[in-house]
Amino acid sequence: MLRSFPIQPDGSLGAASSVIQYEGALAHPRQEGPHAHMIVPDPNGQRVLAVDLGLDRIMAYHLDAASGELIPNDPAITYQSPQAGAGPRQIAFAPDGRHAFVLNELDSTLTVCAYDPERGVLRPLETLTTIPGDFTGENACAHIAVAPSGRFVYASNRGHDSIAIFALDASTGRLTVVGHESTGGQTPRAFAIEHTGNWLLAANQHSDSIVSFRVDASSGLLARSGEESQIPAPVCVVFADTPTRAL
């Protein structure tokens, strides 16, 4: 279910401006019904995109700035997973605003898309795995982020317990696998890249830790800094000077 709320002058929330309930189910056990997982503005602020893991879809809406109402885009479905049962969880945009990366939780993949800002439509270009070819265990992707430099894309793996690192070709939006770095804990539910791009903090939900990594600006590779914080079941990390990301 999606809801939008107006913010009152005193900072409180008013009654919901929109309440949207999807319907449907797919074959995967985790897709027994709709599962809205993230809603985020597009780069030009004309639309918001709602990622639904349960339906293998991303929906697009116009946001009425006066009322806060979500109005379906035309077309309403901006993206349909090219592979059934992928389970899209999060989306991140490239700095050019014309390419986007859809992280799929259920099949551990990342789909590169071209984005048409005039129509609000995502067109899949390629899909890459987020885990090494020799890994045979269970895995579920969790979080995705583009480096402030725009040169690299990072995605977290729960099961392989790693951050997958991809180099981004700014001219095409295509990705190349750089490598994988262990998060030094279990189940990296989320991570955050500090605004200079020099540091990445990984939140390991099931080992109660946040582990710090230095980011190599040239290669995009990560290296443990030696700093680690013990925090019960961390599921999100946000730097104060960066926008909040959805879980």
Give the dihedral sign, CA 7/75/145/193: negative
Domain 2-230 = CATH 2.130.10.10: yes
Half-sphere exposure of 159 (CA within 13 A, CB side): 16
| Model pLDDT, residue 147 | 97
The residue whose two tokens read 């490598």 is 179
pTM: 0.94
Dihedral (CA of 179, 183, 187, 192) sign: negative
| Amino acid 66: pLDDT | 84
pLDDT value of residue 100: 97
pLDDT for residue 119:
96
3-state secondary structure of 86: coil
Distance CA 89, CA 101 (A): 11
Q: So where are the chain's domains?
A: 2-230
**pLDDT tens digits, the chain, 247 residues: what are they?**
899 998 889 999 999 999 999 999 999 999 999 999 999 999 998 899 999 999 999 999 999 988 889 999 999 999 999 999 999 999 999 999 999 999 999 999 999 999 999 999 999 999 999 999 999 999 999 999 999 999 999 999 999 999 999 999 999 999 999 999 999 999 999 999 999 999 999 999 999 999 999 999 999 999 999 999 999 999 999 998 655 554 4
* Cβ atoms of residues 158 and 143 within 8 Å: no
Sign of the dihedral through C-alpha 223, 96, 247, 78: negative
User: Which contacts of 199-202 are long-range, i.e. CB under 8 A and separated by 24 or more positions?
Assistant: 199/225, 200/154, 200/163, 201/237, 202/156, 202/163, 202/237
Q: How far apart are CA 160 and CA 141, in angstroms?
A: 9
Write phi, then psi, for 30 (nearest 5 degrees).
-80, -5
CA-to-CA distance for 180 and 133, rounded, in angstroms?
12
